[in-house]
Chains A and B, each alone.
Chain A
């Protein structure tokens, strides 16, 4: 089960990979399950999206990174 969050977050990156973020509580990223990049509806001006599905110390999360805006988003939060 996962919950749609879709909130911006501050995230720490090391060697181009996400390692830590805070959303009400701290989340340590243990490993990256899946990672891909999407272009989205570029013809409507949608920015490119990097998607990370990660396992953290608390839960499974789907993080989005928008390189054009240099912004991280906690998109989904699931069970561990």
Chain B
């Protein structure tokens, strides 16, 4: 029997061409008792590898092929848990040894961290092989002895790879000679990079991608042949017929090794490391009750019971330290006046509410704690917190300082191949030109790489796409193979892990492109290692809120009344551009139909406008039931209690848990597992098994079979789509408060939103149009009056200097400093007294910043070069403006240039220029908005055309047309989309003819398009 001990997976980043799963399936099929995973300089696949291997009855041997400081390769296997730790430390040392984010393990680090490792001498790029190939046998001998000195005689094997390269014979012969002379045992491997020989082309393409070579070009790293596949035991025995001991060594090594990853531990640091572990839960309990007394006027018996229940589960799961750590974090944020908002399933917890981590009263809402944490689920808690985007990094820095840099790291994320990246990389390797690649990737949306063919068939605008041509058929096949392969490692947006012991005991750390140290495991596997993640996220909405609060001393954000009628009135009109989570066209439409008049309506709104409820046709029934237009019936009385708050509609994941609990008697934890399985929805068979279990248990509880089946069908219909109610509530809280700001402090709020761009659904210009429609004047850019940021006062918003294209921090400082001494008297005064680059000054002129000197912007530009030429350091030669009579730009060109440098316009909309040319039949958005029926024509700027999934599966496009007065939403159904798809996504201005949607008389007016043409 043979065991493969040198195997690469796609985690070798563009060097492994077959998934871990496939390799393990083959291992099992051939009855191999073990297999090693040895990716290049990382162990990212280790958790997935171990879990899958054990499930197949295969012993997983963790390892890595490392690169040493002299660029040679060495294969290391973890013999045991200690060996795995050594490997993590070595890889970390390798990445820390240089500034280029490459792993180059110093030999000293190998000597210091050799415990528990078995060293296989390596492939043809090893120190020994390189010496043999240079015909330097003595050097090869020295390299071998060095390995023995570092690892010990019992821990070193001379690796033999018979992959039919020109030098293979010599390598094998000389390696055998070393073995005879030094008595170091031999081991056979095949340096596996792919499963089958037929997969070689994929490997070659990936290598070309990695080395930036085309297939037609030579590169030393390009594989010479396709022999490094996962050969069968028989094939390996044939290849090593002359060295049978090399084959038997593989089994010997496999038997020596034990499972190296410990997936059962809890590594979160003790909050009180010098005290008894019980202190954490005691302190947590104290803080929770203190918080409860603050949050609640009275603590009823059910509330007491609830808090005790949660604390009990927290204690049993031994995660009190985690809650304290997060509490400590938000305390820091509070002291630093950094705005934050907890979100996600953590809002299901009353303890978390009492600790002021979230602002959602889970008790009042009747939220299920088990959605967040349960004994049966056996998952670690995961709390996500949004912070004011400006200070998120400061909060992260606090965590590093608090726990120590060696115990904190960012979680990595893997950028994996999707359609466009696969087409680009593989196309480039195949030799396609940049222009051709541009054509091939055009209009290919963000889909998996194996979905391209089906996309080409589905979308009308791709009917004439070049990828239909036969010559690209193979490219599409190759793309499909690499779908989901990790392409490179990056940083997870907000995830930090904190450990009680040095992180390098469980994961190597390597620097990311952003400069922070990241784990080699992503959020999907980091918890399996015993680490718990805290998500510190940036939310620009909170920055905007802080902006408003800072400028408005009279406003107490935390005391905003939850039942402000004016706020709800605005929501009911669907006038919600700028409101967190509620500003998209679908949300605006919903708000106008729903007529929210209480907070619960907003919670439901956040959950309703998602692919699932839309596809599941939940929106209409919800609205109808909410307004009593349709009778709500429940096929089982227990459903009424659960679904009454959402008017009979299954809307939240927590409801699924409750249904499973009440109807089928699932324990809360079992039910949450059900919810999780259904959310992932891996296979039909799995769903059917769960269904059988549910129905059987329901029947056992006295529910009749037919009813049980119908109830289960509700859950199935909902599967994969549900929203966590706690998360919806957390978001709704911020949504409501931003709606309040929009209603009562519009100028300040719009200015704050403009300062935080890019954010939200709409571009900055749309915010300006909205502000103007509220009677707010947008004051133009003024070199002496404008602040660096947008500033909103009573009824005005002044454009800020930072909005100008090309503006940098240094330029702004220079302007502010110079201006503080004296206002600018002219353009040349400005050039003289600031360090602003010429191109940015040009942009300032085009943006109108100097209009008060002269409204003739072209004339101002005319003299600009002269001013810069005459500026020599701090000297400035007297320069008089030229006497040339330069005519200013024509109005449209002036507007266009202003828009191009500001991305918005203070006074005019582009439609102001097109309107005079249009027939009177073409209505404005204001005129359309008051109509409730009929055929209309409307023209405007296209905002955010998008194609969300629909219930029918047919393609429907939604877009918004913006004109000088406001917005009108347009729906384009499939038949119209097929005719005009190409125009919709490629033209900035459209003239749309359509029928006013009569779906709901209360709904804000929208149009169902029948004809579309470009407006030129």
Question: Which residues of A approach B to under 8 Å, CB–CB?
Answer: 32, 34-39, 41-43, 48, 50-51
CB of A37, distance to nearest CB on chain B (Å): 4
A43 to B169: give the CA distance in the assembly, Å.
28
Residue of A at shortest CB range from B205? A43
Pairwise interchain contact A37-B225, C-beta atoms closer than 8 A: yes
Other A-B pairs, 18, CB within 8 Å; known A36-B166, A36-B224: A34-B166, A34-B169, A35-B164, A35-B169, A36-B164, A36-B225, A37-B227, A39-B200, A39-B204, A39-B225, A39-B226, A41-B215, A42-B200, A43-B215, A43-B430, A48-B225, A50-B164, A51-B166
Q: Return chain B residues, CB-CB under 8 Å to A48.
A: 225-226
Binary CB contact string for chain B from 878 to 903 against chain A (1 if under 8 A, 0 otherwise)? 00000000000000000000000000
Question: What separation, in Å, do the CA atoms of A51 and B224 have in the docked complex?
Answer: 12
Q: Is A37 a contact partner of B169 (Cβ separation < 8 A)?
A: no
Name the residue of chain B whose CB is nearest to the CB of A16: B238
* Interface residues as binary, B184-202 with A (CB distance below 8 Å gives 1, 0 otherwise): 0000000000000000110
Chain A residues within 8 Å of B201, by CB: 42-43
Residues in B lying within 8 Å of A, measured CB to CB: 164-166, 168-169, 200-201, 204, 215-216, 223-227, 430
Given contacts A34-B166, A34-B169, contact A39 B430 (CB under 8 A): no
Nearest Cβ distance between residue A76 and chain B, in whole angstroms? 15
Q: Is the CB of B224 within 8 A of A38?
A: yes
State whether B200 touches A37 (Cβ < 8 A): no
Query: A51's closest neighbor in chain B, by CB?
Result: B166
Contact A38 B225, beta carbon cutoff 8 Å? yes
Chain A residues with Cβ under 8 A from B215's Cβ? 41, 43
Q: Which residues on the B side are within 8 Å of A34 (C-beta)?
A: 166, 169
Q: Which residues on B sit within 8 Å (CB–CB) of A50?
A: 164
16 A/B residue pairs, CB under 8 Å, sorted by A: A32-B169, A35-B168, A36-B164, A36-B168, A36-B224, A36-B225, A37-B225, A37-B226, A37-B227, A39-B224, A39-B226, A41-B216, A42-B200, A42-B201, A48-B225, A50-B164
Shortest beta-carbon distance, A42 to chain B, in Å?
6
**Distance A9 CA – B215 CA, assembled complex (angstroms):** 31
Distance (Å) between the CB of A16 and the closest chain B CB?
A: 8
Residues of A within 8 A of B166 (CB): 34, 36, 51
List the 3 closest pairs (A to B, CB-CB), nearest first. Answer: A37-B164, A37-B225, A36-B166
Chain B proximity of A74: nearest CB distance (Å): 19
Rounded to whole angstroms, the CA-CA distance of A39 and B164 in the bound complex is: 11
Distance in angstroms between the alpha carbons of A32 and B170 in the assembled complex? 12
- Residues on A with C-beta less than 8 A from B225 are 36-39, 48
Nearest-neighbor residue (CB-CB) of B169 within chain A: A34
Q: Within the assembled complex, what's the spacing in Å between the Cα atoms of A43 and B430?
A: 8
With most chain A CB atoms within 10 A of its CB, the pick from B166, B200, B204, B224 is B166
Task: Give the docked Cα–Cα distance between A42 and B201 (Å).
Answer: 8
Report how far A36 CA is from B201 CA in the complex, Å: 18
User: Of all chain A residues, which has the CB nearest B168?
Assistant: A36
- In the assembly, what is the distance between CA of A34 and CA of B200, in Å? 23
Q: How far is the CB of A30 from chain B (nearest CB, A)?
A: 15
Q: Which residues of B contact A43 (CB under 8 A)?
A: 201, 215, 430
CB pair B204–A42 under 8 Å, yes or no, is: yes
CA distance A77 to B169 in the complex (A): 21
Residues of A close to B168: CB separation below 8 A: 35-36
Residue numbers in B under 8 Å from A42 (CB-CB): 200-201, 204
Q: For residue B150, give the distance in angstroms from its CB to the closest CB of chain A.
A: 33
Cα-based distance from A51 to B169 in the complex (angstroms): 13
| Residues of chain A lying within 8 A (CB to CB) of residue B200 | 39, 42
Nearest CB on A from B241, distance (A): 9
Task: Considering the complex, give the chain B residue whose CB is closest to the CB of A49.
Answer: B225
A contact residues around B216 at 8 Å (CB): 41
Query: Which among B165, B204, B223 is the interface contact of A36 at CB below 8 angstroms?
Result: B165
Nearest A residue to B163 via CB reads A37
Tell me, rounded to whole Å, the shortest Cβ–Cβ distance linking A18 to chain B: 15
Roughly how many angstroms separate A41 CA and B224 CA in the complex, as a whole number? 10
Q: How many angstroms from the CA of A42 to the CA of B418 in the assembled complex?
A: 25
Instruction: Give the chain B neighbours of A38 by CB distance below 8 A.
Output: 224-225
Docked complex Cα distance between A38 and B226 (Å): 8
In whole angstroms, what is the CA distance A35 to B165 when docked? 7
Query: What's the minimum C-beta distance from B211 to chain A, rounded to whole angstroms?
Result: 16
Point out which of A34, A35, A43 has the most chain B C-beta atoms below 10 A from its C-beta. Answer: A43
B residues in contact with A39, CB < 8 Å: 200, 204, 223-226
Q: How far is the CB of A68 from chain B (nearest CB, A)?
A: 12
Least Cβ–Cβ distance between A64 and chain B, in angstroms: 13
A38 to B139, CA, bound (A): 29
Q: CA–CA, A64 to B190, complex, Å?
A: 24
Q: How far is the CA of A48 from the CA of B225 in the complex (A)?
A: 8
Instruction: Report the bound CA distance from A47 to B933 in whole Å.
Output: 69
In angstroms, Cα B166 to Cα A51, docked, is 9
In the complex, which residue of chain A has the Cβ closest to the Cβ of B165? A36
Contacts of A36 in B (CB 8 A): 164-166, 168, 224-225
Q: A38–B204 Cα gap in the complex (Å)?
A: 13
> How far apart are A14's CB and chain B's nearest CB, in angstroms?
14
Q: How far is the CB of A20 from chain B (nearest CB, A)?
A: 21
Residue of A nearest to B474 (CB): A43
- CA–CA, A32 and B166, complex, Å: 12
Residue in chain B with minimal CB distance to A33: B169
Tell me the bound Cα distance from A42 to B478 in angstroms. Answer: 14
Note all chain A residues with C-beta closer than 8 A to B226.
Answer: 37, 39, 48
User: CA A12 – CA B430 in complex, angstroms?
Assistant: 39
Distance of A75 Cα from B718 Cα, bound (Å):
67
Residues of A near B165 (CB, < 8 A) are 36
CB distance from B746 to the nearest CB of A (A): 61
Closest to A36 in B: B166
> Please, how many angstroms separate the alpha-carbon atoms of A51 and B164 in the complex?
9
Give Cα distance in the complex from A36 to B226, angstroms. Answer: 11
Q: How far is the CB of A33 from chain B (nearest CB, A)?
A: 8
Least CB distance from A63 to B in Å reads: 14
* Complex-state Cα separation, A35 to B225, whole angstroms: 12
* CA–CA, A38 and B163, complex, Å: 11
- Chain A residue at minimal CB-CB distance from B166: A36
Q: How far is the CA of A38 from the CA of B222 in the complex (A)?
A: 12
CA distance A32 to B227 in the complex (A): 20
Query: Which residue in chain B gives the minimum CB-CB distance to A38?
Result: B225
Contact residues in A for B223 (Cβ distance below 8 Å): 39
> What separation, in Å, do the CA atoms of A50 and B166 have in the docked complex?
11
Residues from chain A with Cβ under 8 Å of B169 in the complex: 32, 34-35
Interface centre among A32, A39, A41, by most B CB within 10 Å?
Answer: A39
Q: Give the distance to chain B from A29, nearest Cβ to Cβ, in Å.
A: 15
Q: Once bound together, how far apart are the Cα atoms of A35 and B223, in whole Å? A: 16
In the bound complex, CA of A48 to CA of B215 (Å): 16
A39 vs chain B, min Cβ distance (A): 5
Whose C-beta in chain A lies nearest to the C-beta of B200? A39
CA distance A36 to B225 in the complex (A): 9
Q: How far is the CB of A12 from chain B (nearest CB, A)?
A: 20
Nearest CB in chain A: distance from B657 CB, A: 53
B238 to chain A: closest residue by CB: A16
A48 to B197, CA, bound (A): 11
Residues of chain A within 8 A (CB-CB) of B164 are 35-37, 50
Q: How far is the CB of B713 from chain A (nearest CB, A)?
A: 51
Can you name the residue of chain B whose Cβ is closest to the Cβ of A32? B169
Shortest distance between the CB of A9 and any CB in chain B (Å): 21
CA distance A55 to B986 in the complex (A): 68
List residues of chain B with CB within 8 A of the CB of A41.
215-216
Distance from A19 Cβ to chain B, minimum over Cβ atoms (Å)? 17
